[in-house]
Chain A
Amino acid sequence: MAGSRGYVNRRLHSLLGVIPLGVFLFQHLTTNFFATRGPEAFNTAAHLIEGLPYRYVLEIFIIFLPLLFHGIYGVYIAFQSNFNVNRQGYFRNWMFVLQRITGILTLIFVAWHIWETRVAIGFGWEELNYQLMEDILTQPFFFWFYIVGILSVTFHFANGLWSFFVSWGITVTPRSQRIMTYVSLVVFLALAYIGVRTVIQFAYGV
């Protein structure tokens, strides 16, 4: 037997966090970054993605099902932990807590974000274009909501990449794990920059 159901679920949860969710996150932030070249560039890029063939299949299997599984199972995992950074204030223990907090924040942010964009577009309440995001992000509340959301998602993914490398037995020695900490920090800073820069473009037009 290849392990119990709990085993397979955990392995799946870990894998889905990077493939496809992490890959999609990278793609998504990159496409949106076209906004910094102006509304036309953004609209062209967004419509290219929107017009991909068998788009619903891609959305269901690359985004929605993995997100649902990883998100729901992630909440279950997060609530099984007792946080004890007050007694054990080590760096990795803080990352462990932040991984769970940002996971929950991600769930809230992503649920709202999908509702307000993909669902609204799907029902024909909105149209996918630069204007849609500009309207959202020029509201101060949503500007900050998106900033916090993007920082949470990018942190969660970058730190998750660190634990992914441990969970699959790639980084075993303390030295490789330490170097991976720096790599994950760079990943976080890079992705956070891409995301935040895009939000500022929509909000302030610069």
Chain B
Amino acid sequence: MSEEKNITLIVTRQDDPESEPYKETFSVPYRQNMNVISALMEIRRNPVNADGEATTPIFWEMGCLEEVCGACSMVINGEPRQSCTALVDQLEQPIKLEPMTTFPVVRDLAVDRARMFDSLKKVKAWVPIDGTYDLGPGPRVAETKRQWAYELSKCMTCGVCLEACPNVNSKSDFIGPAALSQVRLFNSHPTGEMHKSERLQSIMDEEGIMGCGNAQNCVEVCPKGIPLTTSLAALYRDTALESFKSFFGSDR
């Protein structure tokens, strides 16, 4: 089995955020159990394209290499996913690599997901503790709640759900399902719950929950299997109750 085999990759490249994208084809030697990242590393080691011309190495992002950091997302054969868990043996050839379209391209396959982190700030996706004195241990979480909340905590801000959503685009300000689901996560936390109202208020606009159109692609594509549409529907309910409480008045 020492026969030389090559795999072909067609990469959509872009030199800087402003320049025009172009396609470049590469041929790299096949190794067993290769993933897309190892193919990209091979090109980086020997930056020569399929026509034998020397070129610049391809730029991409990665971190964990085990699908928990979300940095390496790109569109592989038309499907947004993580390149670290995209196994070459399971992909059709030639393998087409493109940057995700929802985010500004930094260079080649690397995109700037800053909008996702800004969204997390918008929705206050944290538990505030002021740190000036010891608050002691917080209340315990019921096991049933811990189980579903844990699923929500798996989000790695990879951007795949935003890429799949028809309402996340340049015509709308919708922040997408990922950050919204975090509102449900932090509202379920016994200490985080103390700021439930504030978080709900932060998503009661068109950028937030009202930007959702129930196309439900997000839940189909999320690599972590997060029940995004359940989170969205739960937030629809919570924001409806929140508006009744804040308009008609109630102890909060």
Contact = CB atoms under 8 A, between A and B. Distances in A.
A83 interface: yes
A7 B213 contact: no
A168 B243 CA distance: 12
B220 interface: yes
B237 interface: yes
A172 interface: yes
Given A90-B220, A93-B217, A172 B166 contact: no
Contact of A88 (B171, B172, B221): B221
- The B interface, classified by DSSP as helix, strand, loop or mixed, is helix
B234 A169 contact: yes
Contacts of A169: 233-241
B230 A173 contact: yes
B160 to A, nearest CB: 11
B243 A2 contact: yes
Contacts of B220: 88, 90
Contacts of A88: 164, 166, 215, 217, 220-221
What bracket does the count of chain A residues touching chain B fall in? 20 to 34
Contact of A171 (B227, B233, B247): B233
A93 B218 CA distance: 10
Contacts of B243: 2-3, 7, 11
B234 A172 contact: yes
Q: Which of A82, A90, A168, A177 has the most CB of B within 10 A?
A: A82
Contacts of B227: 174
B233 A172 contact: yes
Nearest to B232: A166
21 contacts: A2-B247, A3-B204, A7-B204, A7-B239, A79-B171, A81-B166, A81-B213, A82-B166, A83-B166, A84-B164, A88-B215, A88-B221, A92-B216, A96-B213, A166-B233, A168-B236, A168-B237, A169-B236, A169-B239, A173-B230, A177-B229
Given A3-B204, A93-B217, A80 B167 contact: yes
What bracket does the count of chain B residues touching chain A fall in? 35 or more
B217 A90 contact: yes
Nearest to B204: A3
A197 interface: no
A57 B167 CA distance: 37
A2 B246 contact: yes
A82 B217 CA distance: 13
Contacts of B230: 172-174
Contacts of B238: 169
